[in-house]
Amino acid sequence: MGYGLQTSDSLKTTVAEAVRRASAALLDKQSPEGYWWADLCADTTLESDYILLQLWLHPPVDGVWNPPTRALVDKAVQAILARQLEDGGFNIYLHGPSEINASIKAYFALKLGGVPADDLRMQRLRLRILEMGGLQAANSYVRTNLSLFDLFPRDACPSIPPEIILLPFHFIYQMSSWTRAIVMPLSILHAANPHRPVPAGFNLNELFLPGAPMLPEPSLKNLTWRNCFLALDKFLKLWERTGLHVIRNYAIKKCAQWMIARFEGSDGLGAIYPSMQYAIMALDVLGYGPDHPLRVEAQRQFDHLMVDDQRGFFFQPCFSPIWDTAIAAFALEEAGEAPASALRRTMDWMLSKEVRRRGDWAVKRPDIPPSGWAFEFNNEFYPDVDDTAMVLLALRRGRASDESKQRACEKRAVNWLLGMQSKDGGWAAFDADNNWKILSHVPFADHNAMLDPSCPDITGRVLEALVVCGVPQEHPAIRRGVEFLLSAQEQDGSWYGRWGVNYIYGTFLALRGCEPLA
């Protein structure tokens, strides 16, 4: 359209018109209650795990699925196949390379869903898996999932003992919140060792790489945390066979109580797909039948993650309404195009979603009055720092119906953010001081997300929100936050974004955090 040839005035007019149209389009997507909510997409592992869950809940009889399950499995199979890469594998991010765990999950799900092993697509997938190390290269969660159906040797799976809930120093709270929400129900499953059936003749033997070791062995020559934990894992396997059943049963009971308590005020355990799936399976082995209210509600919340309409068939890993709403409101306020009535509905809705319950974060910060916002519609045990900062940025320019209520809410949220600062000066997502690096060497920590450390992107957003909300620049928390950002800066001047997973994301947020202080 020749924008480069426009005069300054005409370019301004063009930009203003684009902003007006974009604002109108965004407002058209606003819900009557005032929030925005877009689809949140993930990789094929969710559809693969869904087929695994159907095998758990509705196993085929004489190799035949019941009709309702068959229909959903077929849709999941097609959704998986549609995203197969040219080399035969499956990735975990757009345009990324084949990833071993996603590829193994896909093979299992496709074969179970009825795609023949001699299908060209399956042959290519099998070869790609073997090129990446075969089943022996799978991480602990994939191994454990398959071991539940005797498709992978249990002795080659890292122990996930429920007894970890009994360890001192608030051990389970040294893990990231999402790991914690997964490990608690998964430890119940691991302890049950259920040996669930698969169709006759079904196995994954063709995925084992000949000659590759099943499990890394600890080295007695090198005293490292990794070797120590591998040796501990051997002890735990012995404990499972010979330990006191009274201790194990007590630990399982405590894990179950912990899990069930966190159903309340949440759209499922942790309000995220993996922990919600394992919660259903854990309730099953604990003896909660399909008609028990807890089980019915857990299943309902999980099924709500499914999209099956004109958009296609896929699962959302969770919902993102508070995040979507805060960003949309902030953008409209910056553009200056939104009617006050529309934003008032948004402000009222966001105020109604403030978390007033003490969640897991309070274990390390017991003296902070509760506040903050989660990512999802309801996730009261897990408000997060990033959403809270973004909501505060949106609230500062908007006006709710009750301004005094809004100001009180903002004050609580600011105090909560200040209290959630870690000792290193930065801010993390869900917890403070979640940085026991030795836990990264635990055998079941190979999903690479065992910890929730301070990061530049969240710290930058928090600093911006605090300063905008009136926290003085000379406040010790602000100074320490800036010092953290300076220490986290890369040699080339950039910052890494943990939650945007790239340097542009980290850098723009770090700079926004520093901008009010310039």
Contacts of 274 (CB under 8 A, 6+ apart): 49, 141, 178, 182
Hey, CA dihedral for 129, 134, 140, 145, is it positive or negative? positive
Contacts of 58 (CB under 8 A, 6+ apart): 65, 66, 69
Q: Which amino acid makes up residue 408?
A: A
Cβ atoms of 354 and 394 within 8 Å: the answer is no
Cβ atoms of 428 and 434 within 8 Å: the answer is yes
Distance between CA 482 and CA 515 in Å, rounded? Answer: 11
Contacts of 195 (CB under 8 A, 6+ apart): 148, 149, 150
Q: Which alpha helices (DSSP H) does 82-139 contain, by range?
A: 100-112, 120-131
Cβ atoms of 181 and 272 within 8 Å: the answer is yes
Describe the crossing of helices 340-352 and 385-395 by its angle, rounded to 10 degrees: 150
Distance between CA 279 and CA 299 in Å, rounded? Answer: 9
Cβ atoms of 450 and 442 within 8 Å: the answer is yes
3 state DSSP class of 502: strand
Distance between CA 18 and CA 152 in Å, rounded? Answer: 56
> In the chain, what is the greatest distance between 2 CA atoms, to the nearest angstrom?
82
Active-site annotation holds for 119: no
Distance between CA 212 and CA 264 in Å, rounded? Answer: 45
Per-residue tokens: 201: 């003749």
Choice among 49, 386, 387, 424 that is catalytic: 386
CB-based burial, 231-254: b 16+ in 10 Å, e otherwise: eebeebbebbeeeeeeebeebbee
Residue 209 DSSP class: P
For the chain, how far is it from start to end, CA to CA, in angstroms?
A: 38
Distance between CA 437 and CA 441 in Å, rounded? Answer: 8
Distance between CA 395 and CA 14 in Å, rounded? Answer: 29
Residue 226's H or E segment, with its range, is: helix 225-242
Distance between CA 293 and CA 289 in Å, rounded? Answer: 9
Question: Per DSSP, what are the bridge partners of residue 314?
Answer: 307
Please give the positions annotated as active site. Answer: 386
